[in-house]
Amino acid sequence: MAKEIERKFLVTSEDWREGAHQIHYAQGYLSKEKECTVRVRIAEENAFLTIKGPVQGISRDEFEYPIPVEDAKEMLQLTSGNIVEKVRHRIQQGAHLWEVDEFLGKNRGLVVAEVELNDPSESIIFPPWIGKEVTGDPRYYNSSLAVLPFSEWKPESR
């Protein structure tokens, strides 16, 4: 069984930009139930269907399958909520690969960094541009951003 173990943080500066490899993503949600999320994603010339189980701490079951891009484009028309668009920047920092998501469209202004781990208790050396941890805050789930985009958040809740 595939497991996703990740922590998520806000980004405090632009220092991560130098040398980052970037990929444009467009994704939508076919199902956003608490027990199971089904996402369709287009990443440049590739597309994927991803099924995620319920969050348990900082991990959850995750199954991802490549699908034809044309199928993914049609599936995006079936999604509920907004299409979430972002540019993902990948930055190697020590033993970890950090993924910094710079959101576009209705989520413009939100920049979040994620790091995937092999074990929930794994120690991390934090880059200087990492800020507040938002791992357990459901507002920052991409599936939540499809329903309530960052641009619609009240200023005091950011």
Domains of the chain: 3-157 (2.40.320.10)
- CA dist 36 and 47 (Å) reads 20
CA distances to 39, 58, 127, 158 from 27, rounded to whole Å, are 7, 22, 28, 23
| Whole-number percent of the chain with pLDDT over 70 | 99
101, 88 contact by CB (below 8 A): yes
How many residues in total does the chain contain?
158
The answer, yes or no, to whether residue 155 has pLDDT greater than 70, is: yes
For 110, residues 6+ apart whose C-beta sits below 8 A from its C-beta are 101, 103, 145, 150
Catalytic one of 29, 65, 140, 141:
29
- Give the mean model confidence (pLDDT) for residues 14-26: 90
What digits encode the pLDDT tens for the residues 44-64?
A: 999 999 999 998 889 999 999
List phi, psi (to 5°) of 8.
Answer: -130, 140
The answer, yes or no, to whether residue 156 has pLDDT greater than 90, is: no
Q: Is 25 a catalytic residue?
A: no
- Give the mean model confidence (pLDDT) for residues 114-125: 94
Q: What is the pLDDT of residue 158?
A: 80
The answer, yes or no, to whether residue 1 has pLDDT greater than 60, is: no
